[in-house]
Chain A
Amino acid sequence: MAAVKQTIDQVEQLEAYEHGFVTDIAQDFAPKGLSEDIVRFISAKKQEPDWMLQWRLEAYARWLAMDAPDWAKVSFPKIDFQDLYYYAAPSQKAGPMSLDEVDPELLKTYAKLGIPLREQEVLAGVQGAPRYAVDAVFDSVSVVTTFKNELAEVGVIFCSFSEAVREHPDLIKRYLGTVVPTTDNYYACLNSAVFSDGSFVYVPPGVRCPMELSTYFRINAQNTGQFERTLIIADKGAYVSYLEGCTAPQRDENQLHAAVVELVVLDDAEIKYSTVQNWYPGDAEGKGGIYNFVTKRADCRGDRSKVSWTQVETGSAVTWKYPSCILRGDDSVGEFYSIAITNGHQQADTGTKMIHLGKNTRSRIISKGISAGKSSNTYRGLVSAHAKATGTRNFTQCDSLLIGKASGAHTVPYIEARNASSKFEHEATTTRLSDDQLFYVMQRGLSQEEAVQLLVNGFVREVLQELPMEFAVEAQKLVAISLEGSVG
């Protein structure tokens, strides 16, 4: 009886994925499958210069010789890369355009998702809309980027990656692939060959970016992979806070999202990068959902530079993702704050790498994993200090919360210290949401759902506090929705 109730609750909960709709819109596709011709097709569609095409082709040749990684604690059927579309875009003219030229169906989609695309409305404070700039990526292309002109006034470049390749080739040539090399790993290499769109940000020396920047990724087309490519450069003394959000329709087939994000941080600069990932997680039987195979890495090249990754991961059928920091500059700082929630049949293998190369570099890792239903949630993290990286510090705290009896939590820390002056601390806890706690909270007047929300919010509070305020509230709601019906 309890099992039946739990199943019903879970079905209801999975149907509660509110971003599961499909936008009915005319789209251009590349022919199905992957070949050198497809790579050329994508490059041509994006009107790329020859050097960019050559870069892609070289990556493609290298990818053919690579094997998919098998060390993560996730299992899924082998992906047939010839059965995917690698390019899908709303039929419209290429290049940037004004909002009036954008297909109304697309605008409706973003309105439905609550993404503010109309600067005027944002400026006019319509519905108290938060004031942040948005780059909206729909399948393989960026549809629109807001506040570009206002940002340009202070020298900040914020545009789609495709546009950056055309408009700012020097910056792209100088930094692309310098943090995540083409052959870094299987999925990063595939991305390098067929990447579609993403955002490009350049903040010039000494500039504090005047508003939050954000990119909103939407997968819409069927059987289509999304290969996001994002590059953010904070020049000396610059600061920028950037947020990405992700959703996809509810479909029976698995869809692939293989992204690469590179952050370059020079002397005294700081990048704060936040992710709220809510890709479709699959249905109650584990059918469908996004494969989220992502390589994110920051290179703290400059002295006293700082990177802070904050992620709230609630979606995707399978997540394979380790936002990392290379702490190259002396006194540089890396932070990783993560909430990973799995429910139903979701699998997540996520964590970070803090690679200490410079002297007196510091890092901090706070990871909160919540597993419910029949899901599996693994934290995998590396902290390493080079022989010359003296005086380095790391603090790691990994907490896992189990809800129900069929979920799993795993913690796999790797720690390598090659010098005697490094200080690494690691704390880990695993707890179960107990009936005692639930009863205690309910006795004070909260319903069971409210009690679970309160306890879970308490568990993740440390990390939620790291999100920009506009998004923290949204993330809190998302945490609640992801766990609805998880206590049967």
Chain B
Amino acid sequence: MLSVSNLHVAVGGTEILKGLSLEIPAGEVHAVMGPNGAGKSTLSYTLAGRQGYEVTSGSASLNGEDLLAMAANERAAKGLFLSFQYPLEIPGVPSLTFIRTALNAQRKARGEDEIGAPAFLKLAREQAAKLKIEFDMLKRPLNVGFSGGEKKRMEIFQMAMLSPQFLILDETDSGLDIDALRIVSEGVNALRSPERGMLVITHYQRLLDYIKPDRVHVLAGGKIVASGGPELALELEDTGYDRFAQAAA
């Protein structure tokens, strides 16, 4: 599914990722953990195709297709979804309109028919109920005036509606209280399937109590410095990132 090999990325002339490699097969959830400044967000932005993140060498592919050759929207149409650490506000565009526009843009890019209004609304009602989102909220401009927790829930709602192949969750737990964390995690777990892959980027182990990873990787100094099973996350909780940060330096 997702294959990243020896990836070097510079931002504004400074190298942030220094030879990162990662393999996430379909059906698996991998967590990438690391200290602040390790390059976690750089990894998610680079995979999603943000401008200004310059790949100087290495490769990244999804289902064998070269991600780095595609614009951000083309990657989205191939099924890559990034749940943002800080979701953006889109004034004047109702959430449902936004999601429907996005869904149809993706379907069009894949050569599929647009989804009709009745089918779309039915799906939206079902998914909103699962995430305990008031339907009226979906008529409001996307994320405008939403609390931090509401924004994160809306990210997961978008994810459920767009039904992507590969999910990247960037610090999805930040700013969430325990109840919201549980709802969001249930939403994510509902999307686990043998066809989907997930990359969960987080600073804290807490999120992994709810979204159980198959593999855990430690990112420090721009590379993966350790990989292991779920127990690695618990170990990190005890010992901290210091020894890995030193190893990377």
Which residues of A come within 8 Å of B, CB atoms? 434-437, 439-448, 450-451, 454-455, 457-462
Contacts and interface: CB of A to CB of B under 8 A. Distances in A.
Interface residues of B, number: 32
Given A443-B48, A443-B82, A455 B73 contact: no
B90 A455 contact: yes
A31 to B, nearest CB: 51
B51 interface: yes
With a 10 A CB-CB cut-off, give which of B50, B99, B106, B162 has the most chain A CB atoms.
Answer: B50
Contacts of B77: 445
Contacts of A450: 73, 101, 105
B160 to A, nearest CB: 13
Contacts of B109: 445
A437 B82 CA distance: 14
Contacts of B49: 442-443
A-B pairs, top 7 by smallest CB distance, nearest first, are A458-B92, A444-B102, A458-B93, A445-B106, A442-B72, A445-B76, A440-B88
Contacts of A435: 51-52
Nearest to A460: B92
Contacts of A451: 73
Given A435-B51, A439-B50, A446 B90 contact: no
Interface in B85-135: 87-88, 90-93, 98-99, 101-103, 105-106, 109
A437 B88 contact: yes
Contacts of B102: 441, 444-446
Interface of B: 45, 48-52, 71-73, 75-77, 81-82, 84, 87-88, 90-93, 98-99, 101-103, 105-106, 109, 141, 158, 162
Contacts of A446: 73, 101-102, 105
Contacts of B75: 443
Contacts of B162: 444-445
Contacts of A460: 92
Contact of A445 (B50, B52, B91, B105): B105
Nearest to B77: A445
27 contacts: A435-B51, A437-B88, A439-B45, A439-B48, A439-B50, A439-B51, A442-B49, A443-B48, A443-B49, A443-B76, A444-B158, A445-B102, A445-B109, A445-B162, A446-B101, A447-B73, A447-B105, A448-B71, A450-B101, A451-B73, A457-B92, A457-B93, A458-B90, A458-B91, A460-B92, A461-B92, A462-B92
Contacts of B45: 439
B90 A437 contact: yes
Nearest to B78: A445
With a 10 A CB-CB cut-off, give which of B84, B92, B141 has the most chain A CB atoms.
Answer: B92
A458 B99 CA distance: 14
